[in-house]
Amino acid sequence: MTDTAVPVTTKKDWTSDQEVRWCPGCGDYSILTAVQMLMPELGVRREDTVFVSGIGCSSRFPYYMNTYGMHSIHGRAPAIATGLAVTRPDLHVWVITGDGDALSIGGNHLLHALRRNVDLTILLFNNQIYGLTKGQYSPTSEPGKITKSTPFGSLDHPYNPISLALGAEATFVARTHDMDRKHMMETFRRAHAHRGASLVEVYQNCNVFNDGAFEQITARDARPHMLIPLRHGEPIRFGPDGERGVVIDEGGARVVEVAEVGVEALAVHDEHREDPSLAFTLSRLATGPYTPTPIGVFRDVERV
């Protein structure tokens, strides 16, 4: 009789012998540590786990995981990972990508992987800049962004990755950030457990070319006031004492003072709602990473 028990592992077992080559202070280190710490808890084998990446700073990730992996080509990681996942459904396939890699040249591949509901766990590192090529604006950079490629300020309207994924009717969509390891690990755990296409947007600081892009909402003192936790089945409220909340009406989602409207007026989060329209409405609440921003799981539904 074959022993099918998964061996007990530690973070060290999932860490490769390669030198990590990111800029000192990069948010990628935090995400890498969160994943390496999570893997021993998932009950999976290293030889059954694959990390596929495209091009960019985030895409160095497979080198640092002691698993199978592929550093592929610009934007094509979802396509390559799709081929692997559909031919080897026994494997645990992760896609590591960035805002430039996934949403520019790779946009078409990402959308169709989500639409087809391929069993992939996609981590999208969003730092709102092209870091590897030294600081050009990206598809998520804000209008007016001054960079080497937009010296007079970007004229482009940015993507909202959460809205984009929900528009493609992805079955699992979530957001986390690199300053909260516990939140990252729990979000990644849920994404991995989901059967189908999972997309997690990770707000990630590029301290060299776009330092502090998310500081107004992710700084320790700012979080209670600016991050809106999404908890299934609970009224959507936030603030140090839960004094603020979110209502959804014909005008969309808006932030209110709970004392003025009452708890009964607040929207109750339903991540399992089949219709993605309310999740999409929540994804449009923040005008940028400088106003109160929902964080957590927006949608988690089953679809064959």
Kindly report, residue by residue over 17-59, the tens digit of the pLDDT.
999 999 999 999 999 999 999 999 999 999 999 999 999 999 9
Q: Which two tokens stand for residue 64?
A: 């640092």
**What's the pLDDT at 56?**
95
- Name the E strands within 193-261: 198-203, 227-230, 237-238, 244-249, 252-257
**Alpha-carbon dihedral angle through residues 174, 179, 180, 186, given to the nearest 10 degrees:** 40
Mean pLDDT of 248-276: 96
Residue 73 scores a pLDDT above 90: yes
Residues 76 and 37: their CA atoms lie apart, in Å, by 27
Band (pLDDT 50/70/90 cuts) for residue 3 is low
Give the pLDDT confidence of 205-235 residue by residue, as tens digits.
999 999 999 999 999 999 999 999 999 999 9
**What's the pLDDT at 190?**
98
Band (pLDDT 50/70/90 cuts) for residue 2 is very low
CA proximity to 101, closest of 81, 125, 117, 119: 125
With beta carbons less than 8 A apart as the criterion, state whether 294 and 248 touch: no
With beta carbons less than 8 A apart as the criterion, state whether 52 and 95 touch: yes
Q: Please report the sign of the dihedral spanned by the C-alpha atoms of residue 215, residue 218, residue 221, residue 225.
A: positive
With beta carbons less than 8 A apart as the criterion, state whether 267 and 253 touch: yes
**What's the pLDDT at 5?**
86
N residues, the chain: 304
pTM above 0.75, yes or no: yes
Amino acid at 119: D
Give the pLDDT confidence of 156-195 residue by residue, as tens digits.
999 999 999 999 999 999 999 999 999 999 999 999 999 9
Count of C-beta atoms within a 10 Å radius of residue 200: 24
Type and span of the H or E element at 228? strand 227-230
Helix 181-193 vs helix 28-38: crossing angle, to nearest 10: 50
